[in-house]
Amino acid sequence: MAKPLPSAPNFENLRKQAKTLLRNHRKGDASVCEVLRSIPRFAHSPDEAILGAHVSLADVQFAMARDYGFTDWNELKRHVLGLSKDAPGVASKPTVENDVVLIPGLEKAWWGGYGEQQDTCIGALTAVFQALGEKDINYDYVMAMSGSSFRLLLKQPEWHPEETNSAVGFDCVVAAADAMGYRFTWVAANAGNEEERKRLLQAARESIDRGYPVLFNEEECSVVVGYSRKDGSLYRRHHGFKLQEGNVGYAPVGEWPWAVAGILEKRVSQDRETLLESALDRAVMLAKTPSFGEFASGFRAYELWIEQLEQDQRFAGMPENAFVGACLSSGYAYNCLDSARKSAVRFLGAAAKATSGERAASLSRAKGIYTEMVTVMETKREDLREPWNMFPWDLDNAKKWTPAMRHAHANVLRTLLALERRGIAEIEKALAETP
């Protein structure tokens, strides 16, 4: 998590701060090491190695700039002296080529796929924020601000893969936009309703004309960045599930989405301390709220998931398509839980470093607990296989998803629930402490 600049930063003071850091490094003061780890060659170095290495003033300036969330010292300087061309929240001017209006800057953006940025709604939103100049944020930061790092929803009474989409139940996408100081509105889509189609396409084109990309939410989330002046068709940057690593550029929209969302305007965002409080509050709220509409939430979602996995009769009488759907839903929910809690670990580590005292200690303990959760999920993936390989295509035939496998998965979830309760308790302790 980037450290905030002083409320009225003075560039001369920052230069003096860099020189002081350099002097302290030469004196062997280990307190400088954390900042200097922003230099790539020191990212994983112990204090002794950093203090024993040669460090120049330029190195220290670069590290300071990165610590404050800037790319380099020159970008920090332009920002502080008011020379930056683009302020956060300022849209890029669209370009027109071959009668296609396009917003530049997202040609190489990457999110989604089975890995570290699996939540495509939050990944897409992060890419949009960065295109709008919000350089001091990343995927893990937006995941935490939205609540997605700590989210678990389970549709009732029948499971459905949509429960893993961050815009359903409790809308984490709107929560993240609000935290970042943006007003954000979804426009519903219905392929069979011509008036809704026209309204959605018009809203998307108007947002692009203003230079604001548009989220395109279907099973996964993409970003609409342009449209054709000839026929009004839309162009988008796909999520990673549909891209090969290294792909550059945009593609025409073919499928019709559930909804699109436009970022309509930038408001005044909250300070970092307030944002941290909000993220931690949201984590507790999501864990302790039993439901959002038809979706069980948090601790209650775990309890129902465990209970329903162990109801053998529930599955014995299911039609084949419902059985395959339940298998897919449970497997994908486990997959997304693993990815989300990995993001929680990274956020809690950064949050602990950004504060001090008992609050930092509680957040560090929470990080340890969530690390243990991830370890359990990863270990069970290798040792048992069952909790991970519950996708129908992994099982060859969904009927191979046996009662024994479901009971084994329920036992894993019991362990995860106990750990989640401990982690949330530590977050509550952190909230009770004065930062």
Q: Are residues 302 and 246 in the same domain?
A: no
pLDDT of 335 strictly over 70: yes
Boundary of a domain, candidates 224, 249, 266: 266
In a domain, 299, yes or no: yes
Domain hosting residue 389, numbered range? 272-432
297 compared with 274, residue with greater pLDDT: 297
DSSP string, 401-432: --HHHHHHHHHHHHHHHHHHHHHHHHHHHHHH
- Residue 260's H or E segment, with its range, is strand 259-266
**Can you give the CATH number for the domain in which 102 is found?**
3.90.70.130
What pLDDT does 387 receive? 39
- Residue 225's H or E segment, with its range, is strand 221-228
In this structure, are residues 61 and 73 in contact, taking their beta carbons and an 8 Å threshold? Answer: yes
Instruction: Using pLDDT thresholds of 50, 70 and 90, give the confidence band for residue 321.
Output: confident
Number of domains into which the chain is organized: 3
Boundary of a domain, candidates 213, 240, 266: 266
346 compared with 8, residue with greater pLDDT: 346
Range 323-332 average pLDDT: 85
Amino acid at 97: E
Q: Are residues 200 and 348 in the same domain?
A: no
CA triplet 118, 244, 127: central angle to 5 degrees?
Answer: 50
What pLDDT does 386 receive? 46
Cα–Cα distance for residue pair 408/230, rounded to 1 Å: 56
Cα–Cα distance for residue pair 158/311, rounded to 1 Å: 13
Q: What is the pTM of this model?
A: 0.74
In this structure, are residues 135 and 69 in contact, taking their beta carbons and an 8 Å threshold? Answer: yes
364 compared with 258, residue with greater pLDDT: 364
Closest CA relative to residue 279, chosen from 216, 187, 351: 351
What pLDDT does 251 receive? 83
Q: Are residues 114 and 261 in the same domain?
A: yes
In this structure, are residues 25 and 36 in contact, taking their beta carbons and an 8 Å threshold? Answer: yes
Cα–Cα distance for residue pair 120/241, rounded to 1 Å: 9
Cα–Cα distance for residue pair 36/39, rounded to 1 Å: 6
Q: Are residues 341 and 195 in the same domain?
A: no
In a domain, 380, yes or no: yes
Q: Are residues 342 and 427 in the same domain?
A: yes
At 217, give phi and psi (nearest 5°): -105, 115
Q: Are residues 307 and 413 in the same domain?
A: yes
Check residue 295 and report its DSSP letter. E
In a domain, 174, yes or no: no
Instruction: Mean pLDDT check: name the lowest of 102-116, 227-241, 263-277, 400-414.
Output: 263-277
In a domain, 52, yes or no: yes
Structure tokens given for 67: 């610590």
- Residue 89's H or E segment, with its range, is none
What pLDDT does 83 receive? 44
In a domain, 222, yes or no: yes
Q: Are residues 357 and 220 in the same domain?
A: no
Instruction: Mean pLDDT check: name the lowest of 28-32, 324-328, 386-390.
Output: 386-390
In this structure, are residues 355 and 276 in contact, taking their beta carbons and an 8 Å threshold? Answer: yes
Instruction: Using pLDDT thresholds of 50, 70 and 90, give the confidence band for residue 381.
Output: low
Q: State how far the alpha carbon of 194 is from the alpha carbons of 52, 163, 200, 234, in Å.
A: 68, 28, 10, 16
In a domain, 388, yes or no: yes
Range 391-418 average pLDDT: 80
Summarised one tens digit per residue, pLDDT across range 300-311 is 999 999 999 999
Q: Are residues 226 and 284 in the same domain?
A: no
Across the chain, mean pLDDT equals 83
DSSP string, 67-80: HTT-SSHHHHHHHH
Cα–Cα distance for residue pair 46/427, rounded to 1 Å: 28
Summarised one tens digit per residue, pLDDT across range 79-138 is 787 643 444 555 667 888 888 889 888 888 888 776 667 888 999 999 888 888 777 788
In this structure, are residues 237 and 109 in contact, taking their beta carbons and an 8 Å threshold? Answer: yes
pLDDT of 276 strictly over 80: yes
pLDDT of 195 strictly over 90: no
Instruction: Mean pLDDT check: name the lowest of 162-176, 294-308, 373-387.
Output: 373-387
Range 409-435 average pLDDT: 92
384 compared with 207, residue with greater pLDDT: 207
In a domain, 61, yes or no: yes
Cα–Cα distance for residue pair 227/223, rounded to 1 Å: 12
Q: Are residues 234 and 379 in the same domain?
A: no
Boundary of a domain, candidates 266, 288, 309: 266
DSSP string, 12-50: HHHHHHHHHHHHHHHTT-GGGHHHHTTSGGGTT--HHHH
In a domain, 147, yes or no: no
Summarised one tens digit per residue, pLDDT across range 221-258 is 889 999 888 888 888 888 875 556 557 788 888 766 66
Q: Which ranges of 355-402 does DSSP label H, i.e. alpha helix?
A: 357-383
Summarised one tens digit per residue, pLDDT across range 139-164 is 999 999 999 999 999 999 999 888 88
What pLDDT does 391 receive? 59
pLDDT of 284 strictly over 80: yes
Please give the span between the terminal C-alpha atoms of the chain, in angstroms, as a whole number: 16
Q: Are residues 425 and 301 in the same domain?
A: yes
What pLDDT does 243 receive? 59
Q: Are residues 259 and 279 in the same domain?
A: no
Range 322-349 average pLDDT: 90
Range 159-178 average pLDDT: 89
Sheet holding 153-155, edge to edge: 153-155, 295-297, 291-292
Amino acid at 218: E
Structure tokens given for 382: 């290798």
Closest CA relative to residue 10, chosen from 88, 85, 87, 79: 79
398 SS3 class: helix
235 SS3 class: strand
Pairing of strands 221-228, 100-102: antiparallel
Instruction: Using pLDDT thresholds of 50, 70 and 90, give the confidence band for residue 271.
Output: low
In this structure, are residues 210 and 265 in contact, taking their beta carbons and an 8 Å threshold? Answer: no
Instruction: Mean pLDDT check: name the lowest of 64-78, 308-322, 365-379.
Output: 64-78
What pLDDT does 422 receive? 98
Is the preceding peptide bond at 157 cis, omega within 30 degrees of 0?
Answer: yes
Cα–Cα distance for residue pair 356/30, rounded to 1 Å: 17
297 SS3 class: strand
What pLDDT does 392 receive? 58
Instruction: Mean pLDDT check: name the lowest of 197-206, 284-293, 351-360.
Output: 197-206
Q: Are residues 357 and 379 in the same domain?
A: yes
